[in-house]
Structures are given as C-alpha cells and as structure tokens.
Amino acid sequence: MRVSLKDVAEYAGVSIKTVSNVVNKYPHITPSTREKVQRAIDTLGYRPNLTARHLRKGRTGIIALAVPELGNPYFAELAGAVIDAAAAHDYTVLLDHTQGSRERELLVTQGFQAQVIDGLILNPLELETEDLAARTDSAPLVLIGERRYDLPHDHVAIDNIAAARAAVRHLLDLGRRRIAFLGARGDRPSQPSHLRLLGWQAELAARGVKADDGLVAPVDGWERADGAAAMAALLDAGERPDAVFAYNDLIAIGAMRVMSERGLRVPEDIAVVGFDDLTEGRYGAVTLTTVAPDKQAIARMAVESITGRLAGKDAGDGAATRQLQAGFTLVERESTRGRRPPG
C-alpha cells in the first residue's frame, strides 16, 4: 500500500500541512521539526506523487532534450547530466535525437509533443533564425551548443574561440609550430567548427606564427573515421604537422590511429589536443589532452532556465532572455605531455 502524507504526519506527530511543507522544501520550518518529519519519511519509505504535484500546477513534469546524435558520446554524457539536473527539480527528461536534420529540428520546435512537455532544451545544427522565429509553441525553449541566434530564447554555451585558443596556446608553449586544425567545415560563421578555427588562427597570430592553410584539414563528419581520413589526407599531401588540434575527441582519436599506423609517435612526433573530454580519451594507449567543457554546468543552466521561465510565467514575470556561458578547462594528458615516470 502506498504511504500517504497522512501516514507520515501521524507517525511524526505533526499536521499534514507540516509534512507537505517539508516535502516541498518550505524554508520556514524549525530544524527539529524538519528532522522529525524526514525521519518519518525515511522510516515509512514515503515517496512524493510528483505527477500529481505537477498536474496541480497545470504541468506534466517532463522536459524534452533534443540533440543531434545520442550515439555520439559527448551528447550521451550531456544527456546524463541534463537528466541529473532535471531530477533535482523533480522533472523527468524525454530524449530525442534529430540526426542534425533540419526537418527533425523543425519537428521538435513546432509543437513536438506540445501537450506532453513543459519545456524544451534544443541543440540545433541546421535551423535558421526564421525557423525559430516562427515557433508558436508557448513552452519555454532554451538553446544549447554553439550556434548563435538573435532571438528571445535563453542560450547556454561555452566560449569556443577562447577554448580553441587555450588548446593552441598549450601546444605553442610546448614549442610546437606546425599546428594542424582537423575539423574544418564549410559551415556558417556561427557554427562551432568555424569558431574553433577562428580560435586556432587568432592564437597563432598572437604568437607571431603564420597560419598555414595547408594544415587545415576538412572533415565530412564528426566521427573517428572522419579524423582518420583527414589525418591520412594531410600526411599524403606532404603536410606533416608537429601538432594537431582536433575539432573533437573522436576526430583526435581517429587521427592518432593513423599516426600509429604510419609509424609516428604521440606526442614525440606529433602532439594532439582534442575537445569534449570524452571518457574514451582517458583510457587509450596514449591518453588524450583535451578541452573539457563544463557539461554539468551546461546541463544545470539549461534546466534552471526552463524551471525559471516556468516560475516566471506563473508569476507574470517576463524576464529578459540571457546568453549563459559555461566554463571549460584544458586537461593535459599523455598526447601532449608524454608519459610521466612512475612515482
């Protein structure tokens, strides 16, 4: 039989209202009362009926998260962080992957599951400004990822140019000068690949190193095979770098495989820096130096944007939209620093 608020109240010797206040984290409860009620909750195994709680507010208790590809480890890790952040606000997350398709991205923004979700977190790749401007769904929308839009929606991202500059700066500080960029695309200026390329160019220029266009390797996708193909093409063209800055960890891992096959050592011959700090990069034969976006902060900011908008809407508060910036760190590992002696 399901334990009720009444059962907890009788066990703790307090009113049902007091139990409700403790469950809903009402601040004005004495520590002794809160402890007594919490002890009763733990003893009886009471679990709040979150569905009923949300329905009383005219909500479903569900946030949707739409990303380009759940098979990509970065998005899988980010989805896990969003699920954890949403759970802290008693929300469930509905996942969808758009495959980077404009049609799928339109579907999720134009009333996708409109009666089911309270808000949408979206990482768009192909949508244009006019696509999002035409959105009629009233559920709060927060954008994540590096694609920039001048629209009234909160946006959570990292500073891609600054992050790329940190990666290239690290390689320059190690004495590398022929630094290749793997991951160029014919993208719009607001796309992350273009922003990271700008960061590569800017840091080289700041240090007086000529940016060699022959060291910019285009890719067709974002997977390991794309990195392997780009690295092979670079070497086949006679453009051997002494360092590589890759658009993401998967491209870096693919490139490192080709280096190994060609008899090149990492980092002795070619130092490598990736981007995303995937778990896979920590356990290779050579661990990968990488730019680590703060995924937990991205997830937390996105979820709090949704819950804040919902609270503001209830209060009639039309808060201004925000550009929210999460941090990043450069994690140095063996692909640039080499193996450290034991002890």
φ/ψ bin of 45: left (φ > 0), alpha (ψ from -120 to 50), beta (otherwise) = left
Contact 219, 229 (CB under 8 A): yes
Same structural domain, 110 and 224 = no
Q: What average pLDDT does this structure show over 154-179?
A: 96
Query: pLDDT tens across 247-258, in order?
Result: 999 999 999 999
Asked whether residue 19 is assigned to any structural domain, the reply reads no
Q: Is the pLDDT of residue 264 over 90?
A: yes
CATH at 119: 3.40.50.2300
Give the span between the Cα atoms of 295 and 281, in whole angstroms: 16
Q: Is the pTM of this model over 0.85?
A: no
Q: Are 145 and 222 found together in one domain? A: no
Query: Does residue 228 share a domain with residue 179?
Result: yes
**Pair (176, 211) in one structural domain:** yes
pLDDT for residue 315? 42
Please state the rounded mean pLDDT for residues 189-197.
Answer: 82
Report phi then psi at 329, rounded to 5. Answer: -135, 155
- Residue at which a domain ends, from 250, 278, 293: 293
Calpha distance 128→149 (Å, rounded) = 8
Indicate if 262 and 303 belong to the same structural domain.
Answer: no
* Low-confidence winner among 29-38, 100-109, 146-155, 205-214 (lowest mean pLDDT): 146-155
The answer on 128 and 186 residing in a single domain is: no
Q: Residue 314's pLDDT is what?
A: 47
Measured between alpha carbons, how far is 77 from 310 in angstroms, rounded to an integer? Answer: 26
Question: For residue 283, what are the domain limits?
Answer: 160-293
Report the domain count for the chain.
2
Convert the pLDDT of each residue in 21-79 to its tens digit: 787 777 778 888 888 888 888 888 877 655 545 444 555 789 999 999 888 999 999 99
> Are residues 165 and 278 both part of a single domain?
yes
Report if residue 190 sits inside a domain: yes
Say yes or no: 187 and 106 in one domain.
Answer: no
Instruction: Give the chain's mean pLDDT.
Output: 88
Same domain flag for 132 and 234: no
Strands 154-157 and 141-144, bridge-based pairing: parallel
